[in-house]
Amino acid sequence: MMQEAQPHPTRPMIDDVTRMPMRKLLLLVACQTVALALILGVSGVLEGGLSFVHTLLVPPLVTFVLLVAQPGLPGSRPLRVLGAYVVAGIFGIGLSILPLPGTVLGVVAGAITLFLFYILGVFHAPAFAVPFAAIMAGYALSDAPKAFGILMIYTVLVIGLALATNRLLDYRSYPEKWW
């Protein structure tokens, strides 16, 4: 007689931020605000006549909040985040220089980026916005390498600030794993 398979018990996902004491929560928000000011300050320094710099800032800002709030996610591991931004930057910025309609570029860049995220094991949702930010900015060929460099600066900066924020607050162990 065959035994019926028992369903695996599910555990509810616990969101520690909603259960955090108010004092610790305020300290967390204060640290994130200081980090945000630092990120925006760096963005202002990098701007130097490049009108597109701030367009590339949005996905890394979302990444920073995610790395602090949900550091245990596989997509929050530093090398995966970096890999996702490399992939998204190369294809997003690279395709943005082509003289094609934005919709076509968006679909192609989105499909290639998602495919490579999954194949390489670097899925990180905020980085998926990079191709669309790049296409909206519409880079000239001469600006593409600068745009990619700036994106990488933002990425390393937010990973570093997430590490510092989590350590400073003794809030979470980040990173639990680097890859």
Degrees to nearest 5, angle at CA 122 with 121 and 123:
100
Helix (H, G, I), strand (E, B) or coil at 81: helix
**Per-residue pLDDT in tens (0 to 9) along the chain, 179 residues:** 555 555 555 555 555 556 778 888 898 899 999 999 999 888 888 877 777 777 888 999 999 999 988 888 899 999 999 999 999 999 888 888 888 888 898 899 999 999 999 999 999 999 999 998 888 887 788 888 888 999 999 999 999 999 999 888 887 678 888 88
Is residue 146 assigned to a domain?
yes
Is residue 165 assigned to a domain?
yes
Decide if 88 contacts 148 (C-beta within 8 A).
no
Is residue 42 assigned to a domain?
no
Is residue 20 assigned to a domain?
no
Residue located via tokens 């094991």 = 121
- The residues, any chain, with a CB within 8 Å of residue 34's CB and separated by 6 or more, are none
CB neighbours (10 Å) of residue 132?
Answer: 21
**Structural domain containing residue 75:** 52-169
CA atoms within 13 A of residue 30's CA, in its CB half-sphere = 8
Is residue 116 assigned to a domain?
yes
